[in-house]
Structure 1
């Protein structure tokens, strides 16, 4: 089994499986959304596409950011803390973000595409190693932020778990996340970013599902796949 790590949201060569990581914050948001009862999360290439999807489906909720900041007219910010407090049972979300969503959409040439933050990293690695490992020859792990050590640390952690080694611990990953450039603006005195989001991003949650992209429809969407 060949496991490669890449940074950035640009297209990569096709693989048997891709794991796209966005710790701060897109796929941490997605994880909390499912925990709050969301049914599915559609992935939009652009803000305009997100609004068009909602125009045809008024009950859908728009969630995301552009360059880290909230999008005017969206229902939810790209905030794990906000989403963790929302009532989303039975809801469908439409997500648009700068790095994570873009990287996921650029990975659809691969057979299986999973998304995660740190919160569901261990469960995702276990699913790949135990449930699918024998049928996978090539695995790509995409740290979607082009320079962020938070995503890279999580990618190295997932690789170590799939390989069943101890080259990096979860505490080392947490330390790198909290010290990353992406986390700094949340921990500074800011009226835009919430420090509670980083607290949510640092938690490893015990859940019984992974997040996988369903490519069968016109619009790709993240769904829960139970172990």
Structure 2
């Protein structure tokens, strides 16, 4: 298996084979918690106008996501797992748009297969890859607003690669580094409205969920399908 760690939109556009689009803080952690709490389907969309259009067509859909980390006008919830879990999600359809993760899905058009990447289902991702045994594996780190690499996404790519290659990897050290690096924002009192402290722990609850989220298409529109392992 040839494994490549790629970065940002350029990485998504060049990804091939089985591709993992990674967004730890917080898009694809949010998606996992949403499915675990009863969401029926998630439509990940790149353009915010498309999200609003879907809401107009289907007022019962939930609008979830962010721009500049904050909840856009008219959205039911920001891109926060802890805030999402306050909603009644059972049986709901969710439209999800973010500055990083969902952009990767929209741009990875050359990949044979797409799944999402987060630490909360890392074990399931590794198991899925081992079952599939692809010739090419692309691990795409979407970074901060697709503009700069981030430690958390790169750490997950390195974690997956090391596990597949049966090499040692220290998750607790990664978590410690994130707590005092890019994750420090979740502990800033001024940012609790859109980046609450609880999100840090929820996004780094290693292998909490034993499923992967695969990108499928229906009527030309991407949606996420939960595959239990």
Q: TM-score, normalised by structure 1?
A: 0.92
- Tell me, in whole angstroms, the C-alpha distance in 2 between the residues paired with 1:110 and 1:217: 19
- Tell me, in whole angstroms, the C-alpha distance in 1 between the residues paired with 2:173 and 2:224: 28
1:70 counterpart residue number: 71
Q: TM-score, normalised by structure 2?
A: 0.91
Gaps of 5+ in 1: none
Aligned length: 222
Q: 3-state DSSP class of the match of 1:113?
A: strand
CA offsets, 1:146-194, max 9 Å, x none? Answer: 321011111100111222221x22212322332332x222211214321
CA offsets, 1:46-78, max 9 Å, x none? Answer: 111101011111111010000111111001110
> Does structure 1 conserve the Cα–Cα contact (< 8 Å) formed by 2:13 and 2:109?
no
- Residue 225 of structure 1: which of 220, 224, 227 is its match? 227
1:189 counterpart residue number: 189
- Tell me, in whole angstroms, the C-alpha distance in 1 between the residues paired with 2:139 and 2:202: 22
Q: Would you say 1:34 and 2:35 are equivalent positions?
A: yes
> Does structure 1 conserve the Cα–Cα contact (< 8 Å) formed by 2:38 and 2:89?
yes
> Does structure 1 conserve the Cα–Cα contact (< 8 Å) formed by 2:64 and 2:78?
yes
Gaps of 5+ in 2: none
Q: Would you say 1:208 and 2:210 are equivalent positions?
A: yes
- Tell me, in whole angstroms, the C-alpha distance in 2 between the residues paired with 1:5 and 1:174: 20
Q: 3-state DSSP class of the match of 1:199?
A: helix
Q: 3-state DSSP class of the match of 1:90?
A: coil
- Tell me, in whole angstroms, the C-alpha distance in 2 between the residues paired with 1:55 and 1:12: 30
Moved more, 17-26 or 116-125: 116-125
> Does structure 2 conserve the Cα–Cα contact (< 8 Å) formed by 1:22 and 1:28?
yes
Displacement, 1:25?
0.5
Change (3 A) 1:218 1:107: same
Displacement, 1:33?
0.3
Q: For 1:122-201, what aligned pairs fall within 5 Å after superposition? A: 122-129=123-130, 131-133=131-133, 136-145=134-143, 146-166=148-168, 168-181=169-182, 183-191=183-191, 192=193, 193-201=195-203
1:9 counterpart residue number: 9
- Tell me, in whole angstroms, the C-alpha distance in 2 between the residues paired with 1:206 and 1:194: 20
> Does structure 2 conserve the Cα–Cα contact (< 8 Å) formed by 1:43 and 1:96?
yes
- Tell me, in whole angstroms, the C-alpha distance in 2 between the residues paired with 1:205 and 1:36: 16
> Does structure 2 conserve the Cα–Cα contact (< 8 Å) formed by 1:6 and 1:142?
yes
Change (3 A) 1:169 1:217: farther
Q: 3-state DSSP class of the match of 2:189?
A: coil
Change (3 A) 1:206 1:199: closer
Report runs of 4+ in structure 1 exceeding 3 Å deviation. none
